[in-house]
Amino acid sequence: MPFGNPRRGDRALAWLTRRSAALARIAVTALALLATAVVATGCAEAPTFVSSPPPGPDAELDLTNPVLGPGDMLEISFLPTAKTLSGPYRIDPEDRLRVDVANHTELSRDSLLVLPDGSISLPELGRIMASGKTVVELSAAIRAGYEARFIRAPSVVVSVEDSDVRLKSLITRRPEAMSVEPSVYRVSENGTIDLPYIAQIQANRRLRTVRDEVIRAYQDKFAGRLEVTVNLRQARPQVVYVIGEVPRPGTVDFRYPFNPLMAISSAGGFLPTAAPANVVLFRFGTGGTHSQWMMNFRTPMEGKGGEFSPIAVLPGDVIFVPKSGIALSNALVEQYVRNMIPIPFGFGITVPVK
């Protein structure tokens, strides 16, 4: 069957020739970009990190003295000391006193609050220090003050109406067992813990350090009338984070002892796109600080000598498995060549004929 219009066919063939030439030029450009990507990324398998100095002995895991963090629960018991239970009672801030002055009722006062600085205020005398004295000692001091102001025969009797309500609120007991009921406090998301009557405690430190600071703060606040014990009731889940080129990135449960290869194995091992020679372990400290260590798993895994990283993994560590150089090249080509340059990987053309 003869073709139709010859001129129409010639125009289609001419267009096809021009289109092929344009695609050839684009292909050459794409290949040049591909070569550049391979040279730029194939020589270095992963971003370069500078390792921190080796961790010191303080970084080793101490199961009896862990580093506290958000979600940990502290159990704190408040007990009266021998100073509180025996011997003559000594007045403290927040106590409420009654002062009776015989034959001078206008000078008597009840429900006198001992101020935080340890003083009380009385007519004619003004401020007088009460904290640390027994009721007998305070009575004598008040009597001497009034006598110095020519008040005749002041007979002074001081009694404690109510002892420190703060102390009573802390010392709680179980009626059935007469044992101390501990209070439980949670470490907040910002790493602090709020306790009654003392300043906020920075808790993202080792347990013994936090315990010593809490005990010291209450001793200073209540002048040794309170015995405090601090224990870890419930710890937050202990996990390690594995991210990057592993089948199951995310958290893995911490087990003691634990090393980086065990953590990566728990996340499914290395993907084919991983760079085992450039694994990085990150460890974060207080105040936004962190340390990082480069680890080479490829050489010992291939039996070419070398040792696995001696650094032990701690709860909260982050292990980053980067892409290999080939994987980075493929990703770069995908991003900058295939997705940006309109190269059809298969095309067809129809020349209308008759």
> What's the CATH code, domain 47-62+238-323?
3.10.560.10
- Domain-by-domain residue ranges, the chain? 1-45+325-354, 47-62+238-323, 73-83+167-234, 90-162
Domain 90-162 has CATH 3.30.1360.70: no
Q: Which of 124, 145, 118 is nearest to 223 (CA)?
A: 118
pLDDT value of position 17: 64
pLDDT value of position 216: 93
- Rounded-to-integer distance, Cα 211 and Cα 65, Å: 10
Does a cis peptide bond (omega within 30 degrees of 0) precede residue 257? yes
Distance (Å) of CA 152 to CA 146, 155, 157, 168, 214: 8, 9, 16, 39, 49
pLDDT value of position 159: 87
- The β-bridge partners of 76 are 183, 230
Q: pLDDT tens, position by position, for the chain (354 residues)?
A: 454 555 555 666 666 566 665 555 655 565 555 555 555 544 544 556 676 777 765 555 667 788 888 889 999 988 877 665 556 778 888 888 999 988 888 889 988 899 989 899 999 899 999 988 888 999 999 999 998 888 888 889 998 887 777 777 787 544 444 444 578 899 998 889 999 888 999 998 889 999 999 999 998 887 777 888 899 887 788 899 999 999 999 999 988 888 899 999 999 999 999 999 889 999 887 667 888 888 888 877 766 656 666 788 888 899 999 988 654 555 555 554 455 445 454 444 454 544
pLDDT value of position 177: 45
Residue 240: left (phi > 0), alpha (psi -120 to 50), or beta?
A: beta
pLDDT value of position 241: 95
CB proximity list for 46: less than 8 A, separation 6 or greater: 275, 277, 278, 322, 323, 324, 325, 328
- Rounded-to-integer distance, Cα 26 and Cα 35, Å: 14
pLDDT value of position 22: 59
- Does 47-62+238-323 match 73-83+167-234 in CATH topology? no
Q: Which of 352, 272, 260, 265 is nearest to 314 (CA)?
A: 260
Please state the pTM of the whole predicted model. Answer: 0.54
Tell the CATH topology of 73-83+167-234: wza like fold (3.30.1950)
pLDDT value of position 151: 84
pLDDT value of position 178: 46
